[in-house]
């Protein structure tokens, strides 16, 4: 497919997603709004000295980015089209944003590609070491891989970030309570 065809399909998908309101959206953990990237502690470059943004990339606070992210989120959680969501998320051009990397990792995990999934979970945690949903999803990844001790470590990290009452902690704790090898899909 050509880049123009892909872009046209993305615009059509976003338009369709915005045109069809859901009756009562139900999402797994998290929000359909990306978290802002962590501040680097550096000042921005003076006007005129800023890096030029790739014309195909939108800013994270740009409505086009947010609409694309929401459409990809719905593709994952409403339609369970993980391959389609990966394409949508990659087209946003922000694989270094924790929310985007986490959803790409989640989608690869749901498709059974654990090696690539791990790369994206680690990319998300590099972007934001306190990204609770990534700790949760990566903890579920650990359980699926039989690494219960590592999953327990992830649970401890979640507890340190948001406490034991947050949904992400409860979800991973519940998964850890299940006996190994029960074949549950998370």
The DSSP-derived string for the chain is --HHHHHHHHHHHHHHHHHS--SS---SSS-SSPPPPPP-S-PPPPTT-SPPPPTTPPPTTSHHHHHHHHHHHHHHHTT--HHHHHHHHHHTT-TTSHHHHHHHHHHHHHTT-HHHHHHHHHHHHHH-TT-HHHHHHHHHHHHHTT-HHHHHHHHHHHHHHH-SSSHHHHHHHHHHHSPTT-----
Give the model's pLDDT for residue 100: 96
User: Is 186 contained in some domain?
Assistant: no
Same domain, 67 and 114: yes
| Residues 122 and 136 placed together within one structural domain of the fold | no
Range of the domain at 102: 9-18+59-129
Give the per-residue pLDDT at 18: 39
Which pLDDT score is estimated for 3? Answer: 57
> What are the residue ranges in the chain where pLDDT is below 70?
1-60, 183-186
pLDDT at 16: 39
Predicted confidence (pLDDT) per residue in 2-24, tens digit: 555 555 444 444 443 433 333 22
Does residue 43 lie in a domain region?
Answer: no
Residues 88 and 175 in one domain: no
CA distance 124 to 1: 29
pLDDT at 181: 73
pLDDT at 59: 65
Residues 173 and 116 in one domain: no
Q: Which residue has the tokens 């999402």?
A: 27
pLDDT of residue 34: 55
> Is the entire prediction scored with pTM above 0.75?
no
């Amino acid at each position: 497919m050509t880049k123009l065809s892909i872009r046209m399909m993305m615009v059509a998908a976003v338009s369709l997603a915005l045109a069809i309101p859901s009756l009562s959206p139900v999402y797994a953990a998290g929000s359909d709004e990306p978290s802002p990237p962590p501040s680097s502690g550096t000042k921005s470059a003076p006007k005129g000295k800023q890096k030029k943004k790739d014309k195909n990339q939108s800013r994270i606070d740009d409505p086009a980015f947010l609409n694309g992210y929401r459409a990809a989120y719905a593709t994952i959680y409403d339609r369970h089209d993980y391959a389609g969501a990966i394409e949508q998320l990659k087209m946003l051009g922000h694989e270094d944003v924790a929310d985007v990397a986490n959803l790409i990792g989640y989608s690869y995990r749901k498709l059974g590609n654990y090696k690539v999934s791990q790369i994206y979970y680690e990319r998300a945690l590099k972007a934001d070491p306190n990204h609770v949903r990534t700790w949760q999803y990566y903890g579920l990844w650990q359980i699926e891989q039989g690494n219960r001790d590592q999953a327990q470590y992830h649970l401890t990290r979640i507890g340190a970030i948001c406490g034991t009452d947050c949904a992400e902690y409860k979800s991973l704790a519940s998964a850890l309570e299940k006996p190994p090898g029960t074949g549950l899909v998370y």
